[in-house]
C-alpha cells in the first residue's frame, strides 16, 4: 500500500522551478530519504507534502487524501520536524510536548502520559522542567523531533533531523529513528550519505528541483555502475538523466 | 477548542518574559510616580492624577503591541509557526490563540495603573469601571497592531516598529502628558486624526464622570480598532495560506 503518491508535483517562484514535475510513490512503513545538495528542492518538496506551501502544479495524495483538496485531513495524519529547531522558548520541555499532543487532539491526561513517554525515549528527563531557551542545541533538537512524534503521525517528515548534532547525539537519534521505522512512514531529507545508508529503505536523489533517481542504495549503485554510494550520488546528482 | 491550548501557551510565553512584565506593569507605574513627584514640586496644575492616570493607562497599553508582535515574530523566526502550520490548527485558532490572551492582560494592566493612581490620589468610584470599559477598544487597537507587525516583520523590526516607533507616536500624539491644544495647529490636527488622543480623551471623560464627552470620540477608537484588526487578520491569513512560510 502506498502512503504517499506524488503526481507531477512542481513549485516555481517567479518562473524559476524549485521543484519540477516530481512523480513518486512511497510505501507505507517505508523510510524514504530525499538526498540532494543545497537548493536541490528537498525542503520545498517536504513543505508541499506537509501542506505548508501550495504546489504550482500537480498534486500529492497522503494516505488517500489530496494535499490540494483536503489539507486539513492530511494535517491530522502527519507531523513535521522542520529544518530549524522549532520549540516554544519560554515553555519547559514537558510543556512543549504536552502542547503539541493537545493541539493534535489528546486530552490533558493523555497528553501528560505521551509527554512522559517522549521524555523517556529521547533521554530528556534531566531537562524535563527546564525552559527550552536554556537548553543546549542538542537538547533543543531532540525535543523538536520528539514534538513531531508525540502525535503518533502516520507519516513523519524529518527535514535534516541531525543537522548540527554531534556524532554521539546523531547516533542516538539514528537509533530512535530505526525503532520508529516499522511504526510509521518516514520521509527524511539529509546531506549525510552515511545517514542514508544506515537508515533508509529507499532513496530519492534530487538535483536542480528534479528527482534524478530513486531506489535502494544497492539499486542506485547498480544504476550508476559504481561500488560506493557516494560515487553513485555524485554521478546521479550531477551527470545522468535517469527515468525511474 | 484547540485555540484554548494555543492561547494558554501564548499567555505563558508572554508572562514568563521579564521584559514584558517590566514594560507592561512596572514602567507605567514608574511614569505615574515621576510625574506625580514633579507635580508635587510645582504650583501649577500640570500633572493632575485625574488627567495623568488615563494618559498613562493608554500609553501603557501601547506595550501590548510589542508583546504580541514579538511573540508572533519570534514564532515565525524560529520555525515554531511552521510546525504549527503543519498541524490541524485552523486560521481562526491562530487568530484567537494570539489575540484572546492579550485582552485580559490589557484589562489587568489598566487595573494595575488605576490602583497605582488610587494610591497617588485618584478617587475611587464607579467611574473607574467605566474608564476600564472604554479602554477595551484601545487595547484592541494595540493587539491588532501587534498581530499585524508580527505578521509582517521579523523580531528585530517588531522591536523597532512597536517598541520604539509606536510607543513614541502614542506618547507624543496622545496628549498623555500634556494638553495637545497648547501646541495646536497642524500638530493638533494630526494628533486627532490618530486614535490615541481620542482614547486618552474618552478615558479622561469616563474617569471624571463626564459620560457625554465620551461620544462621539469613542467612535474614532472603535472604528480604528475594527479596521486595524480586520487588516491584521487579513494579512495574517495571507501569511498562513502558505505562500510566505
Angle at B36 between CA B31 and CA B39, to 5 degrees: 130
pLDDT tens for each residue of A159-189: 988 887 888 888 888 888 888 887 899 999 9
Interface test with A, best of B83, B85, B93, B245 (most A CBs within 10 A): B83
Question: Is the pLDDT score of A242 beyond 60?
Answer: no
Residue with cell 524549485: A18
Element (H, E) at A206: strand A202-207
Mean pLDDT, consecutive 10-residue stretches, chain B (245 aa), reads 92 90 88 91 85 94 92 86 90 92 94 95 95 96 95 92 91 90 93 96 96 94 96 89 51
Using a CB-CB cut-off of 8 Å, the residues of chain B touching A87 are 78, 80
What is chain A's mean pLDDT, rounded? 91
Say whether pLDDT at A137 is over 90. no
Residue A202 sits at the chain B interface (C-beta within 8 Å): no
Cβ atoms within 10 Å, residue B163: 19
- In this predicted structure, what is the pLDDT of residue B242? 55
Tell me: pLDDT of A126 over 50: yes
- What is the reported pTM? 0.85
Q: Do B86 and A104 touch (CB under 8 A)?
A: no
Contact at CB, B80 and A86, closer than 8 angstroms: yes
Residues of B whose CB is below 8 A from A156: none
Contact B82 A76 (CB under 8 A): no
Inspect the interface and report whether the beta carbons of B17 and A90 lie closer than 8 Å: yes
- Which of 56-95 (A) contact B at CB < 8 A? 72, 75-76, 78-91, 95
The three grid cell numbers given for residue B127, joined into one nine-digit string: 467611574
CA distances from B147 to A120, B95, B166 (A): 37, 9, 14
* Res A37: pLDDT: 87
Give residue for cell 473607574: B128
C-alpha–C-alpha distance, residues A186 and B235, integer Å: 34
pLDDT of residue A239: 62
- Angstroms from B222 CA to nearest CA on chain A: 33
Average pLDDT, stretch A111-122? Answer: 95
For residue A24, what pLDDT is reported? 93
Given an 8 Å threshold on Cβ–Cβ distance, is A80 in contact with B245? Answer: no
Distance between CA atoms of B42 and A169, rounded to whole angstroms? Answer: 67
pLDDT of residue A62: 97
Can you give the pLDDT at residue B34?
93
A-chain residues near B5 (CB < 8 A): 99, 102-103
DSSP class per residue in B62-85: HHHHHHHHHHHHHHHHTTHHHHHH
Chain-centre distance for alpha carbon B217: 18
pLDDT confidence band for A244 (50 / 70 / 90): very low
Share of chain A above pLDDT 90, in %: 73
A-chain residues near B243 (CB < 8 A): 53-54
For residue A72, which residues of chain B lie inside 8 Å, CB to CB? 88, 90
Residue A137 CA neighbour count, 13 Å, CB half: 9
The pLDDT value given to residue B45: 80
A209 Cα to chain B: minimum distance (Å): 18
Residue A121 in grid coordinates: 525515549
Q: Residue A208: is its pLDDT beyond 80?
A: yes
- Helices B91-99, B2-15: inter-axial angle, 10-degree rounding: 30
Residue of A nearest to B80 (CA): A86
Q: Whats the size of chain B, residue-wise? A: 245
Q: Report the 10 Å Cβ neighbour count for A164.
A: 15
Asked if A54 reaches chain B (Cβ–Cβ under 8 Å), the answer is yes
Confidence of residue A243 (pLDDT cuts 50, 70, 90): very low
- Tell me how close the Cα of B69 comes to any Cα of chain A, in angstroms: 15
Is pLDDT above 70 for A240? no
Which chain B residues touch A76 with a CB distance below 8 Å? 88
ipTM of the modeled complex: 0.87
Q: What is the pLDDT of residues A11-39, one digit of tens each?
A: 999 889 999 999 999 999 999 999 998 88
Q: What is the pLDDT of residues A45-94, one digit of tens each?
A: 999 999 989 999 999 999 999 999 999 999 999 999 988 888 999 999 99
Residue A195, pLDDT above cutoff 70: yes
Chain A stretch 140-179, residues whose beta carbon is closer than 8 A to a beta carbon of chain B: 144, 147-148, 151, 157
Amino acid at each position: 500500500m502506498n502512503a504517499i503518491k506524488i503526481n507531477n508535483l512542481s513549485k516555481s517562484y517567479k518562473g524559476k522551478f524549485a521543484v519540477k514535475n516530481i512523480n513518486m510513490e512511497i510505501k507505507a512503513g517505508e523510510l524514504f530519504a530525499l538526498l540532494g545538495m543545497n537548493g536541490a528542492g528537498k525542503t520545498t518538496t517536504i513543505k508541499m507534502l506537509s501542506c505548508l506551501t501550495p504546489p504550482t502544479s500537480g498534486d500529492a495524495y497522503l494516505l488517500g487524501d489530496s494535499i490540494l483538496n483536503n489539507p486539513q485531513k492530511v494535517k491530522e495524519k502527519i507531523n513535521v520536524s522542520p529544518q530549524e529547531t522549532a520549540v516554544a522558548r519560554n515553555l519547559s520541555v514537558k510543556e512543549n510536548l504536552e502542547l503539541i499532543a493537545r493541539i493534535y487532539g489528546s486530552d490533558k491526561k493523555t497528553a501528560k502520559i505521551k509527554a512522559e513517554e517522549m521524555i523517556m525515549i529521547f533521554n530528556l528527563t534531566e531537562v524535563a522542567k527546564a525552559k527550552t531557551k536554556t537548553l543546549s542545541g542538542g537538547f533543543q533538537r531532540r525535543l523538536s523531533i520528539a514534538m513531531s512524534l508525540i502525535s503518533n503521525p502516520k507519516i513523519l517528515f524529518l527535514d535534516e533531523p541531525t543537522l548540527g548534532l554531534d556524532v554521539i547525539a546523531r547516533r542516538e537519534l539514528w537509533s530512535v529513528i530505526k525503532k520508529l521505522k516499522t511504526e510509521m512512514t518516514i520521509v527524511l531529507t539529509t546531506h549525510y550519505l552515511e545517514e542514508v545508508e544506515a537508515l533508509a529503505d529507499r532513496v530519492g536523489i534530487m538535483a536542480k528541483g528534479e528527482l534524478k533517481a530513486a531506489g535502494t542504495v544497492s539499486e542506485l549503485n547498480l544504476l550508476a555502475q559504481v561500488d560506493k554510494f557516494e560515487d553513485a550520488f555524485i554521478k546521479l546528482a550531477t551527470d545522468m538523466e535517469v527515468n525511474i | 477548542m484547540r485555540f484554548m491550548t494555543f492561547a494558554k501557551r501564548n499567555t505563558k510565553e508572554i508572562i514568563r518574559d521579564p521584559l514584558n512584565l517590566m514594560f507592561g506593569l512596572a514602567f507605567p507605574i514608574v511614569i505615574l510616580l515621576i510625574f506625580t513627584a514633579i507635580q508635587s514640586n510645582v504650583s501649577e496644575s500640570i500633572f493632575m492624577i485625574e488627567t495623568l492616570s488615563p494618559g498613562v493607562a493608554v500609553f501603557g497599553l501601547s506595550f501590548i503591541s510589542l508583546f504580541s508582535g514579538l511573540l508572533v515574530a519570534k514564532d515565525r523566526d524560529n520555525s515554531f509557526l511552521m510546525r504549527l502550520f503543519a498541524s490541524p490548527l485552523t486560521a481562526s485558532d491562530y487568530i484567537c490563540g494570539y489575540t484572546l490572551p492579550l485582552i485580559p492582560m490589557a484589562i489587568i494592566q489598566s487595573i494595575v495603573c488605576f490602583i497605582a493612581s488610587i494610591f497617588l490620589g485618584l478617587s475611587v468610584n464607579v467611574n473607574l469601571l467605566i474608564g476600564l470599559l472604554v479602554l477595551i477598544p484601545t487595547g484592541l487597537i494595540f493587539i491588532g497592531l501587534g498581530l499585524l507587525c508580527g505578521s509582517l516583520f521579523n523580531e528585530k523590526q517588531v522591536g523597532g516598529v512597536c517598541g520604539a516607533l509606536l510607543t513614541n507616536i502614542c506618547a507624543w500624539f496622545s496628549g498623555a502628558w500634556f494638553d495637545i491644544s497648547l501646541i495646536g495647529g497642524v500638530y493638533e490636527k494630526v494628533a486627532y486624526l490618530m486614535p490615541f488622543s481620542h482614547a486618552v480623551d474618552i478615558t479622561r471623560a469616563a474617569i471624571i464622570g463626564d459620560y457625554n464627552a465620551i461620544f462621539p470620540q469613542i467612535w474614532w477608537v472603535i472604528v480604528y480598532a475594527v479596521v486595524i484588526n480586520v487588516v491584521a487578520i487579513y494579512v495574517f491569513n495571507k501569511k498562513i495560506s502558505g505562500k510566505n512560510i
